[in-house]
Amino acid sequence: MKDLVKKETESNVATAEHTRSGTTYVPRFDIVETEDGMTLFGDMPGVASEDLEVQFENEHLIIFGKVEPRHNGHEHVYGEYDIGDYHREFHVSQKIDAEKISAELKNGVLTLHLPKSESLKPKKIEVKAG
């Protein structure tokens, strides 16, 4: 079932792109598979739930999180933490039940539940005594 979700990049580090107005980061995700489906855990610090968009379209799971700037109106003397939005996209096979995908954001961690379609789940066959 490794083909259910394909990573678009093989990088071990969150990288930044300059394709939108400002910096956009590619958040890192862990993916766990069970009999029932897959769960994705992504780090998206600074994103509020109302600033998070998750879409599933044409076998692509698209995640976009907007981060509001910090320290507005203050002189920035020194900084080691850069602020930017998040964007990530996964190719998802048709083996996922798109109607049942769910998402939750808690403490900067996005958890996505991608249930397998019923036809893909293992079926237990009842054995009758004869």
Give the pLDDT confidence of 105-128 residue by residue, as tens digits: 999 999 999 999 877 666 778 888
**122 domain residue, yes or no:** no
**81 domain residue, yes or no:** yes
Regarding pTM above 0.85, the answer is no
CB 67 within 8 A of CB 85: yes
Q: What is the pLDDT of residue 40?
A: 97
CA 27 to chain centre: 8
pLDDT tier at 23, thresholds 50, 70, 90: confident
**120 domain residue, yes or no:** no
**128 domain residue, yes or no:** no
Q: How far apart are CA 65 and CA 121, in angstroms?
A: 32
Choose among 25, 47, 24, 38: nearest CA to 109. 47
- 81 vs 66: which has the higher pLDDT: 66
Alpha helices in 6-122 (DSSP H): none
Query: What percent of the chain stands above pLDDT 70?
Result: 81
**125 domain residue, yes or no:** no
Q: How far apart are CA 117 and CA 97, in angstroms?
A: 5
Convert the pLDDT of each residue in 39-78 to its tens digit. 999 999 999 999 999 999 988 999 999 998 877 788 878 8
Q: Where are the beta strands (DSSP E) in 1-130?
A: 5-6, 16-20, 22-25, 29-33, 37-43, 47-57, 60-67, 85-92, 102-106, 109-115
**86 domain residue, yes or no:** yes
Residue 14 has pLDDT above 90, yes or no: no
What CATH number did the domain enclosing 33 receive?
2.60.40.790
State the average pLDDT for the chain: 83
- 17 vs 34: which has the higher pLDDT: 34
- 82 vs 8: which has the higher pLDDT: 82
Q: Which residue range(s) make up the domain with 106?
A: 5-115
Query: Tokens in use for 67?
Result: 């981060």
**29 domain residue, yes or no:** yes
**Residues ≥6 apart with Cβ < 8 Å to 107:** none
Q: How far apart are CA 66 and CA 41, in angstroms?
A: 18
- 106 vs 81: which has the higher pLDDT: 106
How many distinct structural domains can be found in the chain?
1
